[in-house]
Structure 1
């Protein structure tokens, strides 16, 4: 399925763009607060972002939706629409500026 020129330039697809819009809108309404990636993902899906590992695997993994969500957060930081800070080994995100898509 084709993507738009803007999506091509940003190196994103439709799913990532939709996540970017949802995340940015949520943070724009809460400019005085910062949220962890886990808190944001649970807000939208009611599920954990990272699936805990089973006894026979290391680390854990992300579902496809979680991978798209994480890519959207990182792209928002890259284009300076969202700011990221690491606090006690956890990534937090807050609104920084307008989202131009």
Structure 2
């Protein structure tokens, strides 16, 4: 299956933006847990746990942004275009089938 060019560009753009914000959130999470983690009971305490937590935050932020700003608007647009195209085809069939005058 071939992905249309516009959808491909939308996904690439939202992935880049999502990765940027994901890096910011991951660095913020790592810095927060490095500074305040020892005082929080359920926080990751060793360096590997903080790193894996930051990687998880990066992943979920990136996926969330791609889903919310890339896939969801594209799916809504696709569904509406299908709906309007189908309605347009039905109305054009009605106008073509006019009875002839005898």
TM range (shorter): under 0.3
- TM-score of the two chains, using structure 1 as the length reference: 0.25
> Highest Rg: 1 or 2?
2
- TM-score of the two chains, using structure 2 as the length reference: 0.25
Structure number with higher helix proportion: 2
